[in-house]
């Protein structure tokens, strides 16, 4: 009996399907040549070009990378490996440091449209093709533009031909504060605007300038571009990261000095811990003799010892640093000290003990809570020399008769007087970070607690009979506690290449010891800098301060206007 042909059709179809089906995929992930190139990029400038014309030697890159706080290019790319979708490529722009903020980069297509933007140290996924990376500080027209050709399934690094510059502002006692300065490139007389230091009391981070290599002039606020005082210079080399210290007076931002010096390089304790110390001292003797009088006019022996110890921890997103400062200076003006060894003959020149601890949690690129504590006091009693006068002691009620003291020195206050404790916490927000406009907000609370033991203060009197005396009035022991929320708003606007506008508003609302929610303190400062021509710049500053305590004598309500018309010319 023959099998009907119509029964063979499904049998043949099933056999064909069985033979044609592919086996199941093997477990694991296939390692392609493109993947290997992505994971292990050659850490040398030969992997790309700097200006699409000239190739640079590997020696240049190796020397520059040693100045970075961040790892070399290959390690950065391996540590921040990003998923590159199928059919796309990537662009990687390295960063110089993990600690400080840098201007955001923009990636443009050949038509000039922004494809993506973000922070340095990241891989940006884009379609294969040609792109332009825009990076740098200053106005949009002052930024650097680099062309990058992106291949599919490959991350292309942009080699840092530019230079990085971080400027930390300190006072003469090495205490960081929010100083202010201006920066201009000398060879082209091209101003890049104003910069500010970071206030460590509010967990503020320094900003790294991304600039073209060259020589730059850093000068005080309101100075001319070709000023011969109140300025310092720094030379920036391609690919190198420079940390610059700028020493200023906190009251008027006058530049005292500066240089490329790292005060706290530290020694690694473990992978993320560092510690270090700076210890130094001076011994100075001076004597002046008036030969006409045949006597010694002045004899001084000054001894100063300054020590600074620190311990820090840095592992993204956490930063913690503690610092101990001991600064002691002693005047031995009586040479008989060496025979009598009487410590009462000492008079203090400087006496400071300060312990600071700051913790920052940089949750996001634009957001970071912080907490801070500080203890400050003095180690030794404070003494005063009477010279050719006598001490006249008054009680707390200055109307009472006093006591005459003929000692060579008098102790004005005891050791650990006063003893100050400061505690603060809050957060920094980068609300807007655009090409031409930036806005930052700081919110937090702060408290200051002070203990002031009994002491004597020098006072003045209109009584002519007391001219031959140094009047010292006794002050009773007291304590002081202040607490309240504080906030600040900072904005900056770059108007083309020729104008910069900035404003900062600070507000403090004490609730202890006096409740002043409806009467807060304000501090508003605005600046407009307009470059009228290559040689002429017009600046306008406005500051408004309003302090409204219950004590009428302590109230402040002032407005200040300042206008500068600055001229500069060079034959360059």
42 confidence band (pLDDT: 50, 70, 90): very low
Token pair belonging to 406: 């003929």
Tell me which of 256 and 58 has the higher pLDDT: 256
Where does a domain end: 161, 176, 208? 161
Q: What's the CA gap between 135 and 145, in Å, rounded?
A: 7
Q: Beta-carbon neighbour count of residue 566 at 10 Å?
A: 19
The answer, yes or no, to whether residue 299 has pLDDT greater than 70, is: no
Residue 283, pLDDT score: 77
Q: Residue 244 in 3-state DSSP?
A: strand
Domain assignment present for 395: no
Q: Is residue 44 part of a domain?
A: yes
Q: Which two tokens stand for residue 360?
A: 């920052």
CATH number at residue 106: 2.60.40.10
Q: Report pLDDT digits (tens) over 469-525.
A: 888 888 888 887 888 998 888 888 877 667 788 898 989 898 888 888 888 999 998
In this structure, what is the dihedral angle of CA atoms 155, 65, 137, 362, given to the nearest 10 degrees?
80
Mean pLDDT along residues 32-57: 39
Rounded Cα–Cα distance for residues 515 and 485 (Å) = 12
Q: What is each CA distance from 119 to 89, 116, 507, in whole angstroms?
A: 18, 11, 30
What's the confidence (pLDDT) of residue 37? 42
The more confident residue out of 461 and 97 is 97
Whether 74 is in a domain gets the answer: yes
pLDDT over threshold 90, residue 244: yes
DSSP classification of residue 137: S
Mean pLDDT of the chain, nearest integer: 78
390-394 and 469-475 as β-strands: parallel, antiparallel, unpaired? parallel
Instruction: Determine the 3-state secondary structure of 5 from DSSP.
Output: helix
206-220, 293-307, 312-326: least confident range: 293-307
Closest by Cα among 217, 226, 225, 224 to 244: 217
Asked if pLDDT for residue 21 goes beyond 70, the answer is no
In this structure, how many other beta carbons lie within 10 angstroms of the beta carbon of residue 338?
9
pLDDT of residue 284: 74
Question: Residue 444: which residues within 8 A CB-CB, separation 6 or more?
Answer: 202, 370, 424, 425, 426, 427, 485, 486, 487
pLDDT confidence band for 10 (50 / 70 / 90) = low
Asked, for residue 150, whether it belongs to a domain, the answer is yes
Predicted confidence at residue 33, as pLDDT, reads 46
Q: Which of 412-416, 422-426, 481-485, 496-500 has the lowest mean pLDDT?
A: 496-500
Q: Which residue, of 104, 126, 161, is where some domain finishes?
A: 161
End-to-end Cα spacing for the chain: 110
pLDDT of residue 232: 92
- Supply the DSSP string of 52-121, one letter for each residue: SS----HHHHHHHHTT-SSPPHHHHHHHT-----TTEEEEE---S-SSSB-PPEEEE-TTS-EEEEE-TT
Using the 8-state DSSP alphabet, how is residue 270 labeled?
S
Interval 34-42 mean pLDDT: 39
Residue 336 has pLDDT above 70, yes or no: no
The answer to whether position 382 is within a domain reads no
pLDDT band at 24 (very low <50, low <70, confident <90, very high): low
Structure pTM? 0.66
- With respect to residue 205, please indicate whether it lies within any of the assigned structural domains: no
Classify the phi-psi angles of 121: left when phi > 0, otherwise alpha if psi is within -120 to 50, otherwise beta: left
Three-state helix/strand/coil letters over 287-315: EEEECCCCEEEEEEEEEEEEEEEEEEEEE
Which of 99, 129, 161 is a domain's end point?
Answer: 161
Quickly state the pLDDT bin for 233 (edges 50, 70, 90).
very high
- Which distant-in-sequence residues (6+ apart) come within 8 Å of 339 by Cβ? none
What's the whole-number mean pLDDT along residues 206-217? 90
Q: Does residue 399 fall inside a structural domain?
A: no
Number of domains making up the chain = 2
Is residue 133 situated within a structural domain?
A: yes
pLDDT digits (tens, 9 = 90+) for 139-171: 777 888 999 999 988 888 998 889 999 999 988
- Residue 273: Cβ-neighbour burial (10 angstroms; 0-12, 13-18, 19+): middle
Report yes or no: 140 and 435 within 8 Å, Cβ to Cβ.
yes
With a CB cutoff of 8 Å and minimum separation 6, the contacts of 141 are: 496, 497
What is the domain range of residue 112? 33-161
48 band by pLDDT with thresholds 50, 70 and 90: very low
Cα gap 118→70, rounded to integer Å: 18
Contacts of 142 (CB under 8 A, 6+ apart): 136, 190, 192, 497
* Mean pLDDT confidence for 184-193: 81
pLDDT tens per residue across span 63-97: 888 888 888 888 888 876 667 788 888 999 999 88
Tell me: pLDDT of 131 over 90: yes
Q: How far apart are CA 341 and CA 343, in angstroms?
A: 6
Question: Which spans in 394-465 are helix H?
Answer: none
């Amino acid at each position: 009996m023959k099998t009907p042909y119509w029964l063979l059709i499904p049998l043949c179809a099933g056999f064909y399907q069985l033979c044609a089906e592919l086996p199941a995929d093997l477990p694991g992930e296939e390692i392609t040549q493109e993947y290997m190139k992505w994971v292990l990029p050659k850490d040398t400038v030969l992997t790309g070009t700097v200006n699409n014309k000239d190739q640079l030697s590997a020696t240049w890159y190796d020397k520059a990378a040693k100045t970075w706080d961040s790892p070399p290019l290959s390690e950065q790319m391996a540590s921040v490996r990003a998923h590159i979708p199928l059919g796309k490529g990537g662009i990687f722009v390295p960063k110089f440091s993990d600690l400080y903020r840098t201007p955001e980069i923009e990636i443009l297509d050949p038509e000039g449209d922004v494809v993506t933007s973000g922070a340095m140290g990241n891989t940006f996924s884009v379609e294969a093709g040609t792109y332009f990376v825009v990076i740098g500080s200053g106005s949009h027209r002052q930024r650097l533009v680099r062309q990058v050709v992106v291949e599919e399934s490959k991350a292309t690094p942009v080699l840092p031909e530019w230079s990085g510059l971080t400027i930390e502002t300190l006072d003469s006692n090495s205490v960081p504060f929010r100083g202010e300065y201006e920066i201009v490139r000398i060879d082209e007389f091209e101003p890049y605007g104003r910069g500010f230091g970071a206030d460590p009391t509010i967990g503020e981070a320094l900003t790294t300038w991304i600039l073209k290599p060259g020589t730059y002039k850093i000068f005080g606020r309101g100075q001319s571009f070709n000023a011969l005082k109140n300025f310092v210079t720094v030379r920036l080399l391609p690919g190198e990261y420079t940390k610059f210290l700028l020493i200023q007076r906190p009251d008027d931002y006058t530049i005292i000095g500066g240089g490329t010096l790292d005060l706290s390089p530290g020694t690694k304790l473990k992978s993320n811990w560092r510690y270090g110390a700076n210890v130094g001292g001076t011994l100075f003797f001076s004597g002046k003799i008036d030969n006409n009088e045949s006597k010694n006019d002045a004899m001084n022996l000054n001894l100063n010892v300054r020590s600074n110890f620190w311990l820090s921890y840095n592992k993204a997103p956490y930063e913690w640093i503690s610092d101990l400062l001991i600064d002691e200076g002693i005047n031995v003006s009586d040479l008989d000290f060496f025979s009598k060894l009487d410590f009462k003959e000492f008079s203090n020149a400087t006496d400071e003990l300060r312990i600071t601890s700051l913790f920052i949690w940089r949750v996001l690129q634009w957001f970071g809570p912080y907490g801070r504590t500080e203890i400050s006091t003095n180690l030794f009693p404070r003494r005063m020399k009477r010279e050719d006068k006598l001490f006249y002691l008054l009680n707390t009620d200055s109307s009472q008769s006093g006591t005459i003291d003929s000692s060579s020195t008098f102790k004005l206050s005891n050791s650990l007087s006063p003893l100050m404790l400061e505690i603060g916490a809050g957060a920094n927000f980068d609300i807007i970070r655009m090409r031409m406009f930036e806005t930052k907000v700081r919110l937090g609370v702060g408290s200051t607690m002070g203990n002031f033991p009994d002491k004597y203060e020098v006072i003045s009197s209109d009584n002519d009979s007391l001219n031959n005396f140094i009047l010292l009035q006794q002050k009773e022991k007291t304590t002081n506690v202040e607490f309240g929320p504080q906030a600040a708003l900072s904005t900056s606007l770059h108007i083309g290449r020729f104008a910069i506008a900035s404003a900062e508003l600070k507000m403090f609302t004490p609730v202890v010891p006096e409740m002043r929610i409806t009467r807060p303190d304000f501090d508003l400062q605005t600046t407009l800098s307009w470059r009228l021509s290559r040689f002429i710049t017009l600046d306008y500053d406005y500051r408004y301060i309003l302090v409204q305590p219950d004590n009428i004598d302590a109230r402040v309500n002032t407005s200040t206007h300042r206008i500068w018309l600055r001229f500069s010319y060079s034959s360059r």
